[in-house]
């Protein structure tokens, strides 16, 4: 029963994708009904299976798994199958919730029920429609998205990819889901394909993640050649892990396990936008906001972390519990560096979605760092809570942008609806959005006790501290401080103070399809953290059992122990979040324009010029090579030259045949010759056609007599 | 039965040659038509003679002769009609002058 549900989980969105694409493309209500119905079915299946899994004692040992041989590869088979263990169960839980909420939200975001805009065209965001009310006043109101059904088809395909990735029990189908999501990410970032920025961002995202995927595929291939299987539970058998950990490879003295882990981790670096492959994620904000929420905050980028979490036993195969292995050090370094690095960029961004994008990169860095220091449970915990509150924040920002666009259309204000320095005072205009955004922001900042973000981030800090990684601890604490600071900066600029533009002045609350998902996600952003309160936490510890740690920790062969309780990380995480929040409010409470914002440092504003460096170092040379070498030299000179020579030879042969064969022999001799003979003989023979009947008769009779005489003589001579 | 078959054949050959000569030598279209009639009748004599001398029990020779009569009658009717038509258009019945079909 559970196995069947698990097999069927990814299918409804896939079916919905095809049906919308082929049949219901013209009908908006049917399309979103199908999409949400499919997401709802998958959600229902997830909930059923999740509840059942909770009832299984020792679930980490008694997982739900089913598989079969799929592709023969000589002597062995590639197996595919599904697997539900505690880690994939909690992942499935947040994936199902966020996907369903974001699907519902998309209805409102794409202005379902509004009239079609007069000047709207496919490939551009809707620009508003004029309507006349009953009093005869003309208003400009938001118009419905021109490619409404297409959007739902794409997100359905995406949901299929994500579900496939989470339920698969092997790297092969995981990689398939991974790539399907990559494709959907490309399609949805470039959803408004008539915008050059969106097009470029889509290509950039696809190319950048491709870099990671190539290494990941190398890692998978290496793993397959080393072990002969890609199924997780086969690979994670102690015997196999021991062999992998003790095999030495020629690369940097890494063990096979370390090298495979590193290669697969590079895939994560691409997908989860870690330094140095983080550049695509901020640009990906060109896509519609539900896409940013779903793909670029809650699910797809989380898939990268999910992958390293999945491969955790392999990555830590040669970890003795004391000093980090080179692979783990690399992972911890990348994660920590990204967390701090992206946080510093986020404080100087003015686009509401860009701030969240860098915040996502930074938070993913936290998770990666947690995996790097061996804090398995903390990474998964932050993965789940982050998915909830970051989806909430993105949807909230979408709601803000939507309200701003509404105000802009109403007042005719041309201000950029995404620039926070055009906002302000939205607290009163959009109360529901404000309160949910505040909850999400506090969760992101790690507001103590109440919010989920506090518990998960605290656990990462505690693990880093408890295992003695001081530098990582300090860097992450700084990043957490910056997180609280830029979050409060964002909230202050957006919601507090007087409005900074006409658009903000006339902004209005968004429809219920958008606010209900916000409320649902806000509940999780607060409540989910209470499932993972450490046992030894003062006062609160022990009231609720640390269910999350026990449940998820059971996935590993040897369940990890909670780090020893220490006041230093606790006070640090309390301090950085409260001080950060206060500073954010205090500094920005009176800032009216970017000129008076002291953090608009060019270096931060321009994201450390990484895009420019990549452009100079990679894009330009690649363009130069493709232009000069591939196009001009290879293509034009060699290939075209070869083709032209062949063509010239053919032309020469053709000319020779024409001049020496066709014209004299065929035309002259056969064609014209026949005609000439016929003509001359006709001219000469016509004289016998005298027209006199008696002349004809004489000729006839003469010929008759001759023939008779001939026959007569022949007859007798031959006889 | 004292007259041998060859006499009839000689008579028919003579008659045929007279007719042929008439057809080739006379200018008048009607005279040519008469010559043709002579040739046809020479053939008839041959048919009847062969029937009588070789196989009198079968009627083929007489039947053939009657068919030739009928054909000759039809031919004369068509031929004279043509000649009258030509005469009305061109006021001549000389074969040499009716040479519209030359090159």
Contacts with B103 from chain A: Cβ below 8 Å: 686-687, 689-691
Of A686, A698, A701, the CB nearest to B103: A686
Contacts with B82 from chain A: Cβ below 8 Å: none
The residue in chain B having the minimum alpha-carbon distance to the alpha carbon of residue A702 is B24
CA dist A318 to A367, A594, B6, Å?
21, 51, 136
Q: How far, in Å, CA of A675 to CA of A274, rounded?
A: 85
The residue in chain A having the minimum alpha-carbon distance to the alpha carbon of residue B22 is A694
Is A690 within 8 Å of B24 when comparing Cβ atoms?
no
Helix (H) or strand (E) holding A70: strand A64-73
pLDDT in tens, A55-72: 888 887 888 888 888 888
Nearest chain A CA: its distance from B86 CA (Å): 14
In a domain, B11, yes or no: yes
A647: its two tokens: 């063509």
pLDDT in tens, A585-634: 888 888 888 777 777 788 877 888 888 888 888 889 989 999 888 888 88
Of A687, A692, A697, the CB nearest to B96: A692
Give me the pLDDT at residue A542, please.
67
Give me the pLDDT at residue B1, please.
57
Paired residues of A64 in beta bridges: A84
Cα-to-chain-centroid distance, residue A290: 13
Nearest chain B CA: its distance from A655 CA (Å): 45
DSSP A323-379: SPPHHHHHHHHHHHHHHHHHHHHHTT--BHHHHHHHHHHHHHHHHHHHHHTT-HHHH
Is A690 within 8 Å of B99 when comparing Cβ atoms?
yes
Give me the pLDDT at residue A134, please.
75
In a domain, B18, yes or no: yes
Q: How far, in Å, CA of B50 to CA of B59, rounded?
A: 11
Is B10 buried (19+), middle (13-18) or exposed (0-12) by CB count in 10 A? exposed
Is A694 within 8 Å of B20 when comparing Cβ atoms?
no
| Chain A CB within 8 Å of residue B93 CB | no
Q: How far, in Å, CA of A254 to CA of A236, rounded?
A: 19
Q: Within a 10 A sphere around the Cβ of B38, how many other Cβ atoms?
A: 18
In a domain, B30, yes or no: yes
In contact, A65 and A82? CB cutoff 8 Å: yes
Nearest chain A CA: its distance from B97 CA (Å): 8
Give me the pLDDT at residue A119, please.
82
In a domain, B102, yes or no: no
Binned at pLDDT 50, 70 and 90, residue A145 comes out as confident
Q: How far, in Å, CA of A308 to CA of A270, rounded?
A: 12
The residue in chain A having the minimum alpha-carbon distance to the alpha carbon of residue B101 is A691
pLDDT in tens, A424-438: 888 888 888 999 999
Nearest chain A CA: its distance from B88 CA (Å): 19
Contacts with A692 from chain B: Cβ below 8 Å: 95-96, 99, 102
Choose, out of A681, A687, A693, A704, the residue to mutate when testing the contact with B (most B CBs < 10 Å): A693
| Chain A CB within 8 Å of residue B95 CB | yes
In contact, A509 and A605? CB cutoff 8 Å: no
| Chain A CB within 8 Å of residue B24 CB | yes
Count of residues making up chain B: 103
Residue with tokens 């507090």: A496
Taking residues B44-65, report their average pLDDT: 89
Residue with tokens 């022990």: A542
Residue with tokens 């969240």: A356
Taking residues B64-93, report their average pLDDT: 92
Nearest chain A CA: its distance from B37 CA (Å): 16
Range from A214-218, A412-416, A608-612, B58-62 carrying the lowest mean pLDDT: A412-416
Is A447's pLDDT higher than 60?
yes
Contacts with B98 from chain A: Cβ below 8 Å: 693
Q: How far, in Å, CA of A327 to CA of A325, rounded?
A: 5
In a domain, B23, yes or no: yes
DSSP A11-26: HHHHHHHHHHHHTSTT
Q: How far, in Å, CA of A374 to CA of A364, rounded?
A: 15
Contacts with A691 from chain B: Cβ below 8 Å: 99-103
Locate all alpha helices (DSSP H) within A61-195, ordered by sequence.
86-109, 148-167, 171-189
The residue in chain B having the minimum alpha-carbon distance to the alpha carbon of residue A695 is B24
Three-state secondary structure call for residue A83: strand
Q: How far, in Å, CA of A550 to CA of A571, rounded?
A: 25
Contacts with A683 from chain B: Cβ below 8 Å: none
Nearest chain A CA: its distance from B20 CA (Å): 10
Helix (H) or strand (E) holding A64: strand A64-73
Chain A interface, Cβ < 8 Å to B? 686-687, 689-694, 697-698, 701
In a domain, B103, yes or no: no
pLDDT in tens, A650-663: 999 999 999 998 88
Is A641's pLDDT higher than 90?
yes
Nearest chain B CA: its distance from A698 CA (Å): 7
Q: How far, in Å, CA of A153 to CA of A174, rounded?
A: 21
Is A689 within 8 Å of B102 when comparing Cβ atoms?
yes
Cα-to-chain-centroid distance, residue A326: 29
The residue in chain A having the minimum alpha-carbon distance to the alpha carbon of residue B99 is A691
In contact, A273 and A360? CB cutoff 8 Å: yes
In contact, A268 and A379? CB cutoff 8 Å: no
Q: How far, in Å, CA of A56 to CA of B44, rounded?
A: 126
Q: How far, in Å, CA of A581 to CA of A48, rounded?
A: 39
Give me the pLDDT at residue B103, please.
63
Binned at pLDDT 50, 70 and 90, residue A337 comes out as very high
The one-character DSSP state at A115 is P
Range from A31-45, A157-171, A588-602 carrying the lowest mean pLDDT: A588-602
Is A701 within 8 Å of B20 when comparing Cβ atoms?
yes
Nearest chain B CA: its distance from A661 CA (Å): 39
Is A709's pLDDT higher than 60?
yes
How high does pLDDT run on average in chain A?
87
- Name residues whose C-beta falls within 8 Å of residue A364's C-beta, 6 or more positions apart in sequence: A272, A273, A274, A301, A302, A304, A305, A335, A338, A386
Is B23 within 8 Å of A690 when comparing Cβ atoms?
no
Q: How far, in Å, CA of A65 to CA of A167, rounded?
A: 10
Taking residues A215-227, report their average pLDDT: 90
Taking residues A173-192, report their average pLDDT: 91
Is A135's pLDDT higher than 80?
no
Domain count, chain B: 1
Taking residues A499-528, report their average pLDDT: 86
Q: What share of chain A is helix, strand, coil (3-state, %, to 5)?
A: 70, 5, 25
Binned at pLDDT 50, 70 and 90, residue A233 comes out as confident
Nearest chain B CA: its distance from A709 CA (Å): 17
In contact, A540 and A439? CB cutoff 8 Å: no
pLDDT in tens, A88-113: 899 999 999 999 999 999 988 888 88
Q: How far, in Å, CA of A552 to CA of A549, rounded?
A: 6
A to B CB pairs, distance under 8 Å: 30
- Name residues whose C-beta falls within 8 Å of residue A53's C-beta, 6 or more positions apart in sequence: A2, A59, A64, A84, A86, A89
Give me the pLDDT at residue A40, please.
94
Q: Within a 10 A sphere around the Cβ of A232, how many other Cβ atoms?
A: 22
Q: How far, in Å, CA of B44 to CA of A523, rounded?
A: 129
| Chain A CB within 8 Å of residue B3 CB | no
Q: Within a 10 A sphere around the Cβ of A668, how many other Cβ atoms?
A: 12
| Chain A CB within 8 Å of residue B83 CB | no
In a domain, B73, yes or no: yes
Is A412's pLDDT higher than 80?
no
Is B103 within 8 Å of A692 when comparing Cβ atoms?
no
Contacts made by residues A121-124, CB under 8 angstroms, sequence distance 24+: A121/A146, A121/A194, A122/A146, A122/A147, A122/A194, A123/A147, A123/A192, A123/A193, A123/A194, A123/A195, A124/A192, A124/A194, A124/A195
Range from A7-21, A315-329, A393-407, A701-715 carrying the lowest mean pLDDT: A315-329
Query: Could you give phi then psi for residue A230, rounded to 5 degrees?
Result: -120, 5
Q: How far, in Å, CA of A85 to CA of A226, rounded?
A: 25
CATH number for the domain harbouring residue B91: 1.10.287.3510
Binned at pLDDT 50, 70 and 90, residue B72 comes out as very high
Three-state secondary structure call for residue B28: strand
Binned at pLDDT 50, 70 and 90, residue A549 comes out as confident
For residue B79, give its domain range: 5-97
Identify the CA nearest to A289 among candidates A405, A367, A374.
A405
pLDDT in tens, A75-91: 778 888 899 888 989 99
In contact, A420 and A350? CB cutoff 8 Å: yes
Of A686, A687, A692, the CB nearest to B99: A692
| Chain A CB within 8 Å of residue B23 CB | yes
| Total-model pTM | 0.77
A88-126 CB burial, b ≥16 within 10 A, e <16: bbbbbbbbbbbbbbbbbbbbbbbbbebeebeebeeebbb
Nearest chain B CA: its distance from A682 CA (Å): 11
Q: How far, in Å, CA of A561 to CA of A630, rounded?
A: 57
Is A691 within 8 Å of B95 when comparing Cβ atoms?
no
């Amino acid at each position: 029963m559970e196995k069947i549900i698990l097999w069927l989980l990814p299918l409804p969105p896939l079916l919905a994708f095809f049906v919308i694409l082929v049949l219901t493309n013209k009908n908006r209500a049917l399309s979103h009904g199908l999409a949400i119905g499919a997401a709802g079915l998958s959600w229902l299946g997830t909930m059923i299976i999740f509840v059942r899994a909770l009832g299984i004692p020792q679930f980490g040992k008694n997982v739900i798994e089913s598989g079969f041989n799929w592709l023969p590869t000589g002597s062995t088979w590639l197996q595919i199958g599904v697997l539900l263990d505690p880690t994939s169960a909690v992942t499935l839980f947040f994936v199902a919730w966020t996907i369903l909420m974001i699907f519902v939200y998309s209805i409102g975001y794409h202005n379902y029920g509004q009239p079609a805009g007069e000047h709207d065209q496919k490939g551009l965001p809707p620009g508003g429609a004029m309507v006349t009310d009953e009093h005869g006043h003309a208003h400009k109101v938001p118009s419905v998205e021109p490619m409404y059904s297409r959007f739902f088809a794409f997100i359905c395909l995406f949901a299929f990819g994500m579900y496939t990735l989470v339920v698969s029990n092997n790297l092969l189908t995981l990689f398939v889901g991974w790539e399907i999501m990559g494709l959907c990410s490309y399609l949805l970032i470039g959803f408004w394909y008539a915008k050059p920025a969106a097009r470029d961002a889509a290509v950039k995202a696809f190319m950048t993640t491709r870099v990671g995927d190539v290494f990941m595929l190398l890692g998978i291939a290496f793993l397959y050649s080393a072990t002969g299987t890609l199924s997780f539970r086969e690979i994670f058998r102690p015997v196999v892990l021991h062999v992998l950990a003790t095999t030495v490879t020629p690369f940097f003295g890494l063990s096979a396990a370390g090298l495979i882990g590193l290669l697969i981790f590079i895939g994560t670096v691409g997908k989860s936008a870690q330094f140095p492959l983080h550049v695509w994620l901020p640009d990906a904000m060109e896509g519609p906001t539900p896409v940013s929420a779903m793909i670029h905050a809650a699910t797809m980028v989380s898939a990268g972390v999910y992958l390293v979490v999945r491969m955790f036993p392999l990555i830590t195969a040669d970890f003795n519990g004391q000093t980090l292995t080179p692979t783990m050090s690399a992972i911890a370094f990348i994660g920590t560096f990204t967390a701090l690095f992206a946080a510093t960029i986020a404080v100087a961004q003015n686009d509401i979605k860009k701030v969240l994008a860098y915040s996502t990169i930074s938070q993913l860095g936290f998770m990666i760092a947690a995996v790097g220091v061996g804090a398995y449970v903390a990474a998964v915990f932050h993965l789940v809570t982050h998915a909830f509150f970051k989806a909430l924040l993105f949807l909230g920002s979408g709601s803000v942008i939507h309200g701003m666009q509404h105000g802009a259309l109403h007042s005719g204000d041309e201000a950029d609806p995404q620039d926070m320095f055009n906002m302000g005072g939205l607290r009163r205009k959009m109360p529901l959005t404000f309160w949910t955004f505040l909850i999400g922001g506090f969760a992101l900042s790690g507001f103590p006790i109440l919010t989920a973000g506090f518990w998960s981030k605290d656990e990462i800090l505690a693990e880093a501290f408890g295992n003695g990684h001081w530098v990582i601890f300090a860097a992450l604490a700084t990043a957490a401080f910056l997180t609280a600071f830029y979050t409060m900066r964002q909230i202050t600029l957006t919601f507090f103070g007087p409005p900074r533009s006409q658009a903000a002045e006339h902004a209005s609350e968004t429809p219920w399809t958008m606010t209900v998902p916000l409320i649902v996600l806000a509940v999780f952003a607060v409540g989910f953290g209470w499932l993972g309160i450490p046992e030894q936490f003062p006062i609160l510890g022990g009231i609720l059992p640390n269910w999350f740690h026990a449940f998820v920790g059971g996935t590993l062969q040897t369940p990890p122990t909670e780090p020893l309780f220490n006041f230093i990380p606790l006070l640090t995480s309390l301090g950085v979040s409260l001080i950060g929040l206060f500073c954010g409010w205090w500094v920005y409470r009176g800032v009216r324009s970017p000129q008076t914002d002291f953090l608009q440092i060019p270096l931060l504003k321009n994201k450390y010029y990484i895009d420019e460096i990549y452009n100079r170092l990679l894009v330009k040379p690649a363009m130069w090579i493709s232009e000069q070498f591939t196009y001009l030299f290879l293509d034009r000179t060699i290939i075209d030259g070869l083709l032209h020579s062949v063509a010239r030879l053919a032309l020469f042969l053709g000319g020779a045949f024409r001049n020496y064969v066709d014209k004299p022999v065929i035309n002259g001799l056969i064609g014209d010759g026949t005609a000439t003979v016929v003509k001359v003989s006709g001219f000469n023979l016509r004289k016998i056609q005298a027209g006199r009947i008696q002349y004809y008769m004489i000729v006839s009779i003469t010929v008759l007599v001759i023939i008779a005489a001939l026959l007569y003589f022949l007859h007798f001579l031959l006889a | 039965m004292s007259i041998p078959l060859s006499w009839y054949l000689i008579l028919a050959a003579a008659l045929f040659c007279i007719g042929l000569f008439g057809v080739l030598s006379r200018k008048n279209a009607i005279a040519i038509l008469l010559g043709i009639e002579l040739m046809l009748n020479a053939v008839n004599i041959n048919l009847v003679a062969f029937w009588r001398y070789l196989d009198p029990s079968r009627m083929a020779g007489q039947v053939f002769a009657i068919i030739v009569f009928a054909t000759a009658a039809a031919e004369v009717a068509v031929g004279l009609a043509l000649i009258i038509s030509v005469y009305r258009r061109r006021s001549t019945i000389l074969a040499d002058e009716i040479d519209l079909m030359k090159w």
